[in-house]
Amino acid sequence: MIEVLLVRTSLSRLAPGLASRPAAATLLAIAVAAVGLGPAASPAAAAAIPAGAGSYSDSRPAGTSGPTTNTGAPVTPKLTTAARDKPVPTNDWWSSLAYQRYGDNPYSTPMYGHPLTYQAKASGLEVGYPTTPAIVGDGRQYEYAHKADLTVGLSGLNSPDTKADAWSDWTVTPYWADGSRTFRATIGHGMPFVYAKGSGGDARITTASTPTVFSDQGNVLGITVAGHHYALFAPTGSDWNVSGTAITAGLGGKDYFSLAVLPSTDALATYRKYAFSFVTGSQVAWQSTGGTVKATYSLTTEAKEGTERGTLQALYRHQWLHTTDALTPYTYVSPRGTMKVRESASFTTSQKNNGVVPALPASSGVDKARLAGYLNEVANASDPFSGAADTYWTGKALGRLAQLVPVADQIGETATRDKLLGLMKGRLQEWFTAGGASEFSYDKDWKTLTGYPASYGSDTELNDHHFHYSYYVYAAAIIAQYDQAWAADSAWGTMIKHLIRDTANPSRTDSAYPFLRGFDVYAGHSWASGHQGFAAGNNQESSSESINLSAGLVLWGAATGDTNLRDLGSFLLTTESEAITQYWFDASQQVFPASFGHDTVGMVWGSGGAYSTWWTANPEEIHGINVLPVTGGSLHLAREKAAIKRNIAEMERENGGPAQEWRDLLWQFESLSDPAAAKAKWDGVNGNYTPEQGESKAHTYHWINTLNTVGAPDMTVSGDLPTSAVFSKDGTRTYTAHNHGSTARTVTFSDGKTLSVPARSTATSTGPGGSNPDPEEPGPSTGNTFRLKSGGILTTATTDPAGADTIASADGVNRDGTPYRPTVYEVKKVNGKVASGAATAFRLRVDAGTKVGLAPQVRVSYDLTGDGTFDRAETFRYFATDPVNGWEEYTQASGPQATTGSLGELKNGTVRLEVWNALGNGTSQVQTGTDAAVLKIPYV
């Protein structure tokens, strides 16, 4: 169990001592050119390494420190000889394998791979599968904490430490050695298998309690421990021996064995097929074209026995919501909701590109004179940087100025624009020149670039680099929009590219920086801690500052003509946007445990989430930390407008009223869903408030009044240029795009609209469309009618794409009347009164393909108060499908089979539809996302 978290990483974990380390005499040449990020720096013995017009140092400033243990002692990466020269992706789900934060723990802290959890110890690798959430910290945190079901290793293994031996995009191989034995175990996100290799001893599994054996096939053993089912696989010819809690098998001259967590005991045969297809690597490939971002997630495998090279992998919710690849009926529990299993070594996701614009479009709702006055307050301040000295607060100040540059340009205030640009250039150039009061320093051991003065553990714990540097990249992108010469590699662009390589390096072969240091491509979001030294795994608080880096990459890449970096930014932003939607805001209300009484979390942990921040329990900051900074990269939040409304409502409940401290941030957030409500709050204060430290009255005034005029972002439409966006109000869409290129171009939007945009300019036009800017909020005609949406959702939205879900096989047993592995769809927080004379109705399209004798069956249940108890259940007769490819219609006309309980008023209730195969021995499908996939409840 972990503590409720009320103090920020950054503030609570600064090292007690700051000891400088002897500087390295030389720095290896950094192969920038090889990864397309500018010219390589030459080796140098001097402290300052040239980088275009700028420079960074190869030794830390006097009196400062690099990565340390919790006692302040210097620490270097914990790697095997084979991995020693490979840049370590710190800020990952498994970073504690490489970063020994606590001197008395040379193994690891718990690591959350999902569905499995792990912790290294002297005798091998603990493995667990937490399936029951705990609510801790006065109800402010939920967690599926690691608890070992078993430990996998070798007989007699007693290693003094565990090191990282190899890793890929989402897998890692820890290594143990005790002088007589060596042991490796490859683990990863979404992997139900642990692939083990060892020498010097027999395979040994030690269970936490006496196991129940449900299948013994010699070298294949099925056991149940703590209610969880596992399969153990030894080489052919071996035999597992069970003695109490010890299970051993001789390897017969081989060096491999594996285990898997099973979704059910009847899955053993399927999992056995892939037991010796060992995963050796993982890689994501992405592309952003035509307004769509696609990503393919692939595993490489090696056949230890036989020829099978396939595998099984469990997809997170943010992934299976956006794939059309076939999935099995198997599922797992995780802190991120249900994981679904695919029987393949790869899968592909596809999402609409979430555009980024330098500024909201010009509108008639902005009073230019008033805005000019607000701009002058910032530009003419005695200290526009508000005393900022360290990387984080300097970044915040740069971000505040960067937002105002295109706004000033938009209303013709060119002198103010240029003054703001000058301020930004001057401060960045100070940081980008080694030897002054502020500089960046390269650490050759950790292969990272750290800014000094540092803050919040960015130096001693390698925390938050993506947060801090996001502001520098974004500010530089705005400068590049107006001054390309400043951004050239020969000028200051090379230093910006170093920051990008440190935080979001797209190269897997760069010897100076790791691939995507903080972004976990399979989890779909970044991690903040550099050492991952917590019982709850790694964490990320400000998902919006992570998005700020992605948005900065889009704008920097567009402004400098680097389409590869631009498209990397689109991939990162679009992927993380869905992760934020599901795991921070629980927009579909399918992730947080029912017992967790919050609609949002301030922090996501490997084990769960917490309604808290690192530094305060103030609700305004808990909600606002995942909003700031508000920029043209924030528009993605508008995809789930109903979730924004719930978020604001919860903040005001917890706060005892509207926001005061961070009111401007939360007004801007609310305007993404309800611009009129946000404007009313702005008008009520009329500019008499103190802005949040990264905000300004100029930006907030422009943001709120613009959206009140053009409408909230319309995320149902995307443009084929990443720097474009659409807004909608009262049946009119406003289309905008910025063309950073040197020639005019036409932007085509997914609704067919085209927009001609001159070179180095913004263009805006309007057209019909978007009459319902908030499709998640039911109108009078659709309040009792729900579509089935892939992902287990019942929704009133009509904009989701058509798809299909798999209905599990009845496995040859008569399941008539009793749901068996049903495909479930739910909607929560429903209110309504029973409609006189009405009855439950549904219309589904189902298809069994050419399978004979299948029978999809439906049950609709009503939990009237949302307390988890279903008060009414209606089971309908099954529908006998034909063995011909093609959809068939199944409705309530099949007639009721059984009804229990009574209908009553829905007060914050839950409605559930379950569909399963009552007969037969094969899977079928049910359509989603269409008017032929509908449930209508008898309520008004």
Span 311-367, pLDDT tens digits = 999 999 999 999 999 999 999 999 999 999 999 999 999 999 999 999 999 999 999
What's the confidence (pLDDT) of residue 4? Answer: 32
- What average pLDDT does the structure give for the chain? 92
Which pLDDT does position 770 carry in this prediction? 54
Q: Which residues are bridge partners to 294 per DSSP?
A: 287, 350
Q: What integer pLDDT is reported at residue 21 of this predicted model?
A: 23
Work out the average pLDDT over 889-905: 90
Residue 22 clears pLDDT 80, i.e. is over it: no
Selection from 727, 530, 572, 555 nearest residue 631 by Cα: 555
Average pLDDT over residues 535-563: 98
For 505-534, what is the mean pLDDT? Answer: 97
Tell me: the pLDDT tens digits for 452-464? 999 999 999 999 9
Categorize the per-residue pLDDT at 837 as very low, low, confident or very high, splitting at 50, 70 and 90. Answer: confident
Lowest-pLDDT choice from 184-193, 244-253, 793-802: 793-802
Distance CA 54, CA 401 (A): 22
Position 7 pLDDT exceeds 70: no
Which among 94-108, 803-817, 893-907 has the top mean pLDDT?
Answer: 94-108
- pLDDT category, 32, cuts 50, 70, 90? very low
Residue 113 DSSP symbol: -
pLDDT at position 227 is: 97
Q: What is the pLDDT of residue 141?
A: 97
CA distance 420 to 436: 23
pLDDT of 16: 24
CA dihedral (318, 324, 328, 329) in degrees, to 10, reads: 70
Mean pLDDT on 720-726:
97
pLDDT digits (tens, 9 = 90+) for 327-339: 999 999 999 999 9
The pLDDT score that the predictor gives to residue 485 is: 98
Question: Looking at residues 71-97, what average pLDDT do you find?
Answer: 96
- Position 27 pLDDT exceeds 80: no
Peptide bond into 453 cis (omega under 30): yes
Averaged pLDDT for residues 61-68: 95
The residue with tokens 């409609």 is: 835
Residue 451's pLDDT is what? 98
d(CA 375, CA 389): 23
- Only one residue has tokens 């801090």, namely 468
CA 211 vs CA 228, 251, 257: distances in Å: 10, 21, 19
Write down the pLDDT at residue 800. 76
Cβ(90)–Cβ(448) below 8 Å: yes
Decide if pLDDT at 5 tops 50. no
Q: Which two tokens stand for residue 579?
A: 């992760």
Per-residue pLDDT of 766-817, as tens digits, reads 988 753 333 333 332 236 899 999 889 999 887 778 889 999 999 889 999 9
Task: Confirm if 767 and 743 have CB atoms less than 8 A apart.
Answer: no
Q: What is the rounded distance in angstroms from the CA atom of residue 42 to the CA atom of residue 27? A: 9
- Comparing CA positions, the residue from 125, 196, 208, 194 lying closest to residue 159 is 125
Active site residues: 464, 541, 545
- pLDDT tens for 615-651 read 999 999 999 999 999 999 999 999 999 999 999 999 9
Starting at the earlier edge strand, list the strands of the sheet with 220-225.
Answer: 162-167, 171-177, 182-188, 193-199, 256-262, 228-233, 220-225, 212-216
The answer on pLDDT for 42 being more than 60 is no
Average of pLDDT values for 894-898? 88
The pLDDT value recorded for residue 718 is 93
Which of 394, 386, 362, 551 has its CA nearest to residue 472?
Answer: 394
pLDDT at res. 797: 82
pLDDT attached to residue 887: 85
pLDDT digits (tens, 9 = 90+) for 741-762: 999 999 999 999 999 999 999 9
pLDDT recorded at residue 783: 67
Residues of the chain with pLDDT > 90, as a percent, come to: 86
pLDDT one-digit tens code per residue, 117-141: 999 999 999 999 999 999 998 999 9
Helix (H, G, I), strand (E, B) or coil at 226: coil
